[in-house]
Structure 1
Amino acid sequence: MTTSRTRRASTIAAVALVSTLALAACGSSDGDGDADAAATNSSGITTIESGKLKACTHLSYKPFEFKEGSKVVGFDVDLMDLLAKELGLEQEVVDIEFATITSGAAFAAKKCDAGYGATTINDERKKAVLFSDPYFDSTAALIVKKDSGITDLAGLKGKKLGVQTDTTGQEFAEKEKAANGFTPVVFDDLPTQLAGVLSGRVDGAINDNGPLLDYAKDNPTTEVVKEFDTGEQYGLMFKKDDPNGTKMAEKANEILAAAKTDGRYNTIYKKWFGVDAPK
């Protein structure tokens, strides 16, 4: 749950995809970047590459960030575009292992100027990255196949529950497994986790409510049967203990606040969720 999501740290190998709300595929940059290519914006913000705002995420996490054909789209992508456009930049999405973002490693390696991925703000992650103000409220949810007879965690006694590695959903499941008698089965990402439910490899899966409700809508043999009020909020990520990262986070907070006031946030929210944003 998010991202609730924290995904397993592995190699910092990325596939970059250029975004102007619709992103075309391109290669990722080298680890240390090119200092000569960096440029300082009129707002006093320096980016790794002139003219671009490199944003790290991990695909796929529909409807927040996912590929639609050769393009990367989603709620988070559109929000980050607000910041990119304010700075006169073009967003470039870098698909990378999620834990390298939340651990701060991607920022240290100059892979990205900013990061996102339906990422829950928590104290552990705050030690490694600088978060923006919260921009989305989330809860954990349980998805199962219809007619399974499972309506809550207690119904999973003696059964298998799919979790996504290094997520707050996995943490929640670990806390609940003894009381409810299920066995967590770990998946690397959301698509394989949900495929596990469809194939019967697991009896249910727990993750954030947004992606699971979206999946159930597209896959009517599944249903979300329970939501858990975990009080999670998502934030955009920037480099911690870095003056430039701090400036970027402050600018993002200004833009998020303005977008909520002038209606741009609601337009993006309605585009991806089909309803007006909560007040």
Structure 2
Amino acid sequence: MKKGLWFALCAVLTVSLLAGCGASNEGSGDKTYLFATDAQYAPMEFMDKDKITGFDADFLEAVMKEAGLKYELKNVGWDTLLVSLEKGIDYDAAISSVTISDDRLKTNDFSRPYFESTNMILTKEGSPIKSALDLKDKKVGVQGLTTADILMMELTSKDNANIKKFDSNAVAIMELEQGGVDAVVADMAVVTEYVRNNPDKKFVSIIDVENFGSEYYGIMLPKGSELKVKLDPAIKTVLENGTYAELYKKWFNKDADTAKLLEQQ
């Protein structure tokens, strides 16, 4: 055999062996999946010093343990999270109280639902606001690119200057404190937690499922992600084996309706 041919054959064999080793490593669970979150949604996800904590963080840990997958959770901005997952860059998935909606399903995949929520109104004591319909002629603060943002635009009009959009719910609530808006609309868990932790602020929360409706959170994925078929069975098991109920009780001090969640697909 000619020396040149021998070296060429060795090179081919070496590349083949390396490729085989690489596939084996990924298949054996060595891959670390990178998850994004916007840790400004206490008690769902928030920073405790330099650690991301909250219901979503605990839930993800339980799901990934059940699935036998390694992961890392990164705190990023809400806008960054949405853009990255839509384009399928930087992150493999996102868990950040992300509502499964028809619009988002056009650009992204989602895991099976794992949390039922609704939007709530936060306003000051003595306010004439009693329901979502009372918001039509009021100044309302929302976090941009959230379902609260979409709901308020639908309830009023898309060019309504009274809808003030902020980078986070925390900034929107600060605007309410300072009198810049009459109310804030945000996820139920966020509003409830804020009222509970700030009794001195004299704020009240108003639930209006009739006008706001219910919504479900899911783990957000790029279109065609391999993770969905790995996450869905693990989420189902966590819902069924009592782990989810324990986490829900820990963070919300009430029982979870796991049966209703299991009905969702």
State the TM bucket, normalised to the shorter chain: 0.7 to 0.9
Instruction: Specify the alignment match of 2:115 in structure 1.
Output: 136
Q: Which has the larger radius of gyration?
A: 2
In the other structure, the counterpart of 1:225 is: 206
Q: Provide TM-score, normalisation by structure 1.
A: 0.74
- Measured in 2, the distance between the counterparts of 1:234 and 1:145 equals 28
2:26 corresponds to which residue?
A: 40
Q: Is the 8 A contact 1:56 1:95 kept in 2?
A: yes
Structure ranking higher in helix proportion: 2
2:236 matches 1:236: no
Runs of 4 or more, structure 1, over 6 Å off, are none
Confirm or deny: 8 A CA contact 2:152 2:163 kept in the other structure. Answer: yes
What is the alpha-carbon distance in structure 2 between the residues aligned to residue 138 and residue 153 of structure 1? 16
The structure-2 alpha-carbon separation of the partners of 1:105 and 1:209, relative to structure 1 and needing over 3 Å to count, comes to: closer
- One-letter amino acid matched to 1:159: K
1:149 aligns with 2:128: yes
Q: Tell me: CA distance 1:106–1:129, structure 2 relative to 1, closer, same or farther (3 Å).
A: closer
Contact (CA 8 Å) 1:63, 1:75: kept in 2 or not?
yes
Structure 1 match to 2:47: 67
Q: Tell me which residue corresponds to 2:178.
A: 199
- Amino acid in the other structure paired with 1:93: L
Alignment of 1:1-279 (within 5 A): 40-42=26-28, 47=31, 52-105=32-85, 108-109=88-89, 111-156=90-135, 158-177=137-156, 183-220=162-199, 221-228=202-209, 229-241=212-224, 245-246=225-226, 248-278=227-257, 279=259
- Matched residue type, 1:233: Y
What secondary structure, in the 3-state scheme, does the structure 1 residue paired with 2:99 have? coil
**Aligned equivalents of 1:131 and 1:149: distance in 2?**
39
1:184-231 per-residue CA deviation (whole Å, 9 max, x = no partner) reads: 111111111111122211110111111111111112221112323423
Q: Distance in 1 between matches of 2:65 and 2:139?
A: 45
Over the aligned positions, Cα root-mean-square deviation in angstroms equals: 2.5
What is the deviation of 1:132?
0.4
Identity of aligned residues (%): 29
- Matches of 1:74 and 1:41, distance apart in 2: 30
Distance 1:233 1:104, change over 3 A: same
| Distance verdict in 2 for CA 1:81–1:126, change over 3 Å | same
Q: Which has the higher strand share?
A: 1
- Shift of the alpha carbon at 1:101? 3.3
Deviation at 1:253, TM superposition (A): 0.9
- Unpaired runs of 5+ residues, structure 1, are 1-35
Once the two structures are TM-superposed, the CA of residue 99 in structure 1 deviates from its matched residue by 3.5
User: How far is the alpha carbon of 1:159 from its aligned partner?
Assistant: 2.9
CA 1:158/1:261 → structure 2, altered by over 3 Å: closer, same or farther? closer
Deviation at 1:106, TM superposition (A): 6.9
